[in-house]
A = this chain, B = another copy of it.
Amino acid sequence: MDQEQLKGLLEQVRSGSVDIDVAMERMRHLPFEDLGFAKVDHHRALRHGMPEVIFGKGKTPHQVVEVAKALASRASNLLVTRATQEIADAMMAAFPEAESFPASGAIRLWRDRTSRGRGKIAVVCAGTSDLPVAEEAQITCEVMGNEVDTIHDIGVAGIHRLMSNRLRLSEAKAIVVCAGMEGALPSAVGGLVSCPVIAVPTSIGYGASFNGLAALLGMLNSCASNVSVVNIDNGFGAGYVASLINRG
């Protein structure tokens, strides 16, 4: 039963062909999204400027392309994350205007480049090995309409580099910090700025890093109060949250 059906029912109420009590009983069993609730999602998509994201992992190139075609017909921008090279090839064939980012496995269809943020987002990473995760965050922020300032290779053990970027950091409305190993960078950055910091533990490291667990725990225990955390290697999620913050 959709909007038409509801309309029909109400018309029957008006005409008297259906009793009010019967109408109420029928309405109680309606699948409610058919009453128009589903439009919420549609509106939100438009408001976000980023209708859909496809998580590429575990999907075939054919599946990704088909979904992408459907989505791209009604949305300006599209992001595929965690794509294999095969998926990237298929996507680039189907969408020649798309961009492919092999380091992070992202593919981006960026047709609406309207800027929607109140300021800049900084995307920071601790080491060169954290770059793919930072790239995913950066691409996400951009496709969601944000200007991004990327600052790479600032480790806690080389605190001078961090300090020398203090001003750039303090100009951001939100900061994404990607770090593996001990995951200490978000605390240090958080202590220097007054905006929200979204920490992304990366799986970079070996031994007792336990694939990012050490960094994750470190970030959750941050002594800086403006730090919140997303899943290990989840550059997309961090960029998404930062974009919402920057949009205000």
Contact of A155 among B13, B155, B191, B195 (CB under 8 A): B191
Residues of chain B with a CB closer than 8 A to A92's CB: none
Closest chain B residue, CB of each to CB of A229 = B229
Judge whether A237 and B228 touch: CB under 8 Å.
yes
Main secondary structure of the interface of A (DSSP, over half): helix
| A89 interface residue (CB < 8 Å to B) | no
| A150 interface residue (CB < 8 Å to B) | no
Judge whether B216 and A31 touch: CB under 8 Å.
no
Residues of A within 8 A of B (CB): 3, 6-7, 10-11, 13-14, 16, 20, 23-24, 27-29, 31-38, 40-41, 44, 47-48, 53, 55, 57-59, 118, 126-129, 155-167, 173, 180-184, 187-188, 190-192, 194-196, 198, 201, 203-234, 236-238, 240-241, 244-245, 248
Residues of chain B with a CB closer than 8 A to A187's CB: 155-157, 182, 184
Contact of A182 among B48, B58, B221 (CB under 8 A): B221
Residues of chain B with a CB closer than 8 A to A6's CB: 24, 27
Q: A58-B129, A223-B155 are in contact. Are A32 and B163 (CB under 8 A)?
A: yes
Residues of chain B with a CB closer than 8 A to A206's CB: 57, 231-234
Q: How far is the CB of A121 from chain B (nearest CB, A)?
A: 13
Judge whether B31 and A20 touch: CB under 8 Å.
no
